[in-house]
Chain A
Amino acid sequence: QVQLVESGGGVVQPGGSLRLSCAASGFTFRSFGVHWVRQAPGKGLEWVSFIRYDGSDKYYVDSVEGRFTISRDNSKNMVYLQMNSLRVEDTAVYYCAKQSGRYSDYWGQGTLVTVSS
């Protein structure tokens, strides 16, 4: 069955960095794009970034452009989100989500990132 498992979250000080990982299984990973979506505590969902199936195109929400970098390794069925210059407002649960068509049919369970001094 399709599985997406995020890891790499934790507590970091403002200005710090973290790299999130998303391990995929149960489907032909190299054929599908992957999104990152975040949810601040008690708030709604916010799309963060997307990478095409072959890594040829990458997109970001304006608030993370220039600070976050999405990448993938199709040989390892992995997607990464490198987060630099972290801000308090980046505190959230980060989900990776498999693209189906242009929406998502499967999400991981999320990893919590806390930016605090």
Chain B
Amino acid sequence: DIQMTQSPSALSASVGDRVTITCRASQSISSWLAWYQQKPGKAPKLLIYEASTLESGVPSRFSGSGSGTEFTLTISSLQSDDFATYYCQQYNSYWTFGQGTKVEIK
């Protein structure tokens, strides 16, 4: 089974900050990685797929990079609507999610 490890598990940031979240796969998954945003009581929302492709309608301040086993999600200038929990997901073999990164207001 492919394991996904996200870091950090939580972070505090201010509006306007640049935020980076890292996701590491236990084996190579090529670019078969997605990022989701989840707010309390809501379903996850797709942000990025194939490691770096922005889903339609998602603000351009979100970007993804990486391939193989190391991936990052970057929010270039954090907005108030971005405070949420973020999950990476590999879909190279079935699905596995990272444990999540909670982005909180500093």
Interface residues of A (CB under 8 A from B): 35, 37, 44-47, 50, 59, 61, 95, 100-105, 107-110
Contacts and interface: CB of A to CB of B under 8 A. Distances in A.
Interface size class of B (residues with CB under 8 A): 20 to 34
Given A44-B100, A50-B95, A109-B42, 16 more contacts: A35-B95, A37-B95, A44-B87, A45-B36, A45-B87, A45-B89, A45-B100, A47-B97, A59-B94, A61-B94, A101-B50, A102-B32, A102-B91, A107-B44, A109-B43, A110-B43
B49 interface: yes
B94 A103 contact: no
B43 A95 contact: yes
14 contacts: A35-B95, A44-B87, A45-B36, A45-B97, A47-B94, A47-B95, A61-B94, A103-B49, A103-B89, A107-B44, A108-B43, A109-B42, A109-B43, A110-B43
Given A108-B43, A109-B43, A103 B100 contact: no
A45 B34 CA distance: 13
A27 to B, nearest CB: 15
B14 interface: no
B98 interface: yes
A55 to B, nearest CB: 17
Nearest to B32: A102
Interface in B33-85: 34, 36, 38, 42-46, 49-50, 55
A35 B91 CA distance: 12
